[in-house]
A and B are shown apart, each in its own frame.
Chain A
């Protein structure tokens, strides 16, 4: 049912509204929470003067699900099933630091094969997350075609992840002590140990070839494009000291010139046996953030190929008691998520339920720099900068 106002009343209403706004030079524009470019339910209350943004106040919390409180009433196995939903684009990578923290508290080490499987799946998740960025970022700038190319190849990677874990976005594949060993729960299937599906390694090698091809295609279509460069070079520069002070991590930090990658420092997965480089940008603008992620995809395919060649045989999970009781202690483990640094600080007071779990999510810190960086930008640049930070609201709001 449409309500129609009397035309003269409507005219004066809109008259009144607009004339008030036309008198003041500053307009308050509410961007989001439903908006094509905010990567979820992010609300930016922007004070704009024409096309120029004077100040921006991000309002978050629309997706706050209370993970930290929930973790105080769930057992460790139940938490593993939940946390892949924090940064849903890189589902597998969210589980890894948590199970390793619990493993450290219990003094267990996962068998080598399990660690290699974790590494392979983590890198494939990284490829999938970055390809999603490749597809959505040019779309925000107005180029609709890279979307299809990147997503087409991402499907191959997702098929592989689904073949192994059973889920595309929420794999729930890590277990304390390794990865999921049996065909499933239940007495009939528990005794059947099911390793990786047959054809996984060949399929992975083929998928990595295709991903490399699409990286070349994207290089030609996007990186070399004059208009794309005009929109991103020199836009949204984050100086390295500001990035470090705000806790910006991952490709955003590396694009600002700080060559810091947790995969080289945190020895939680067997990266030491694998040769790979860390792409580092120069200026810290949107273009560098894009190119760093593109190079990271290439490096990730390199890592996956080496891991697939090296993976040893062995069990998939160490011996853990059926009912997990984690001894008293506090442990913080962090890992290099595709979005940045993700960490879990687990405080255990004995028992099956943790006392406190603090989740350090990458996008929360990446987003906190927005009020500083968006002040004084133009609205199209606002969209370009937000897109280049590559955050996901689930990661921000937890």
Chain B
């Protein structure tokens, strides 16, 4: 097929068939799960009994709102910021393997690409906070910059340990490595969560919660202090882009966590070469994504938020040394065994 046609098809599939439904599903899940945790019902009107059309209704509502740019805002930067956040999140979907042959583009540098692209969102958030012309947004943006940079490092280091254990940076390769590495010489294959990367999984999950700026790490937004932080001045379609970016990011990061630590599209017991894995694989991955998303949603509605200095202490004094120790341990294991 023509290369450029293929690119267009892939982009449409990734954005339209993977990211959008995934984000909408997780948004709906958050509405309903949070409601039941709070002994409420949640949406029950839009779309019939279960309110499944609520995210769509919200999206349409936002789209028809007035396009505001505050007078004191730096208009060009203000308009650009949501795109940067959204694009950096969507770009992660390119490398997620949904099946043995179902990756938009399985780069050899998959992990490297992932980490580089996901840190672009920091720039978008900082732009949003600064350009709004609002002191609360500025503070939110600065907090976000400090937090996102601080938590990049544990994430990178946790992923390095996985790369060391798998021997490859490509995500498809990491899944294959989990499917083929024999445990103690026997024909048992287990995902990395169980074969030595438990600490890494915990570090990666914590760091991705911080990257997504979800409670307990939502200081940049901190609704009760900063009135939505860097998002204060955004409304309408621009806010939708941030909103979608947050949930798309949640799906993306949980998919990455599932791929790196839980085996991705593969389950222990299934043969990774079988033909049906191109059909079963996506289902397996989506289930894992939904389970991890449920965990993230649960955390959000149970815990209060950490203060900024407590956040930074957690990252610099605890997560980074632990992840370094994780790398050393993994490397030793790899050499010895």
Complex: A in contact with B (CB within 8 Å): yes
Cβ contact within 8 Å between A14 and B76:
no
Classify the interface of chain A: helix, strand, loop or mixed: helix
Establish whether residues B135 and A142, one from each chain, have CB atoms under 8 Å apart when the complex forms. no
Residues of chain B at the chain A interface (Cβ within 8 Å)? 34, 37-40, 66-69, 71-76, 130-131, 133, 135-136, 138-139, 142-143, 215-216, 218-219, 222-225, 227, 301-310
Residues on B with beta carbons closer than 8 Å to the beta carbon of A29: 135-136, 139
CA distance A127 to B309 in the complex (A): 35
Excluding A11-B76, A14-B131, 8 further A-B contacts by CB distance (< 8 Å) are: A2-B66, A2-B69, A10-B73, A15-B74, A141-B305, A230-B306, A231-B310, A379-B225
Alpha-carbon distance A11/B39, docked complex (angstroms): 48
Is A145 within 8 A of B133, CB to CB? no
Q: Given that A29-B135, A139-B224 are known contacts, is A148 also in contact with B69, CB under 8 Å in the complex?
A: no
Q: In residues 1-34 of chain A, which contact B (Cβ within 8 Å)? A: 2-5, 7, 10-11, 13-15, 17-18, 27, 29-30
* Chain B min CB distance to A201 (Å): 27
Q: Is the CB of A141 within 8 A of B74?
A: no
Q: List 8 A-B contacts (CB under 8 A).
A: A10-B74, A18-B130, A37-B224, A51-B308, A141-B304, A144-B38, A225-B304, A380-B225
Q: Is A138 on the interface with B (CB-CB < 8 A)?
A: yes
Residue on A nearest B132 in the bound complex, by CB? A14
Contact (A17, B133) CB under 8 Å given A378-B308, A383-B225: yes
- Residues of B contacting A139 in the complex (Cβ-Cβ under 8 angstroms): 224
Q: How far is the CA of A7 from the CA of B6 in the complex (A)?
A: 38
**How many Å from the CB of B216 to the closest CB on chain A?**
6
A70 at the interface (CB under 8 A from B): no
> How distant is the Cα of A176 from the Cα of B176 in the complex, in angstroms?
83
Smallest beta-carbon distance B34→chain A, Å: 8
Tell me whether B71 and A143 are in contact (CB under 8 A).
Answer: no
Distance of A225 Cα from B138 Cα, bound (Å): 31
With both chains docked as a complex, state the minimum distance between the C-beta of A385 and any C-beta of chain B, in angstroms: 12
Is the pair B72, A14 in contact by a Cβ cutoff of 8 Å? yes
> Contact: B73 with A143, CB < 8 Å?
no
Which of A15, A27, A37, A381 has most chain B Cβ within 10 Å? A37
Whether the Cβ atoms of A152 and B39 lie closer than 8 Å is yes
Taken together as a complex, chains A and B put the C-alpha atoms of A27 and B137 apart, in Å, by 14
Q: Is A169 an interface residue (CB 8 A)?
A: no
**Which residues of the other chain, B, contact A7 by a CB distance below 8 angstroms?**
75-76
Which residues of chain B have C-beta atoms less than 8 A from A35's C-beta?
A: 227
Could you tell me which A residues sit within 8 Å of B by CB distance? 2-5, 7, 10-11, 13-15, 17-18, 27, 29-30, 35-37, 50-51, 138-145, 147-149, 152, 221, 225, 227-228, 230-231, 378-383
- A36-B224, A144-B38, A145-B38 known; A380 vs B74 contact (CB < 8 Å): no
Contact of B38 among A140, A148, A225, A230 (CB under 8 A): A148
> Which residues of the other chain, A, contact B215 by a CB distance below 8 angstroms?
142-143
| Distance between A381 CB and nearest chain B CB, rounded to angstroms | 7
Instruction: Evaluate whether A148 and B39 lie within 8 angstroms (CB atoms) in the complex, with A5-B71, A7-B75 already known.
Output: yes
Residue of B142, B304, B307 most packed against chain A (CB within 10 A): B304
Among A2, A14, A145, the residue within 8 A (CB) of B68 is: A2
A51 partner residues in chain B, CB cutoff 8 A? 139, 143, 308-309
- Per a CB cutoff under 8 Å, which of B37, B72, B73, B75 touches A145? B37
Given A7-B75, A37-B224 in contact, is the A145-B301 Cβ separation under 8 Å?
yes
Separation of A13 and B70 alpha carbons in the complex (Å): 12
Min distance, Cβ B35 to any Cβ of chain A, angstroms: 9
Taking a contact as CB atoms closer than 8 A, the residue among B38, B72, B131, B309 that contacts A378 in the complex is B309
Chain A CB within 10 Å — which of B72, B215, B306, B307 has the most? B307
Determine if A142 and B308 form an interchain contact, defined as CB atoms under 8 angstroms apart: no
State in angstroms the CA–CA spacing of A141 and B225 once bound together. 9
Contact, CB under 8 Å: B304 / A231 = yes
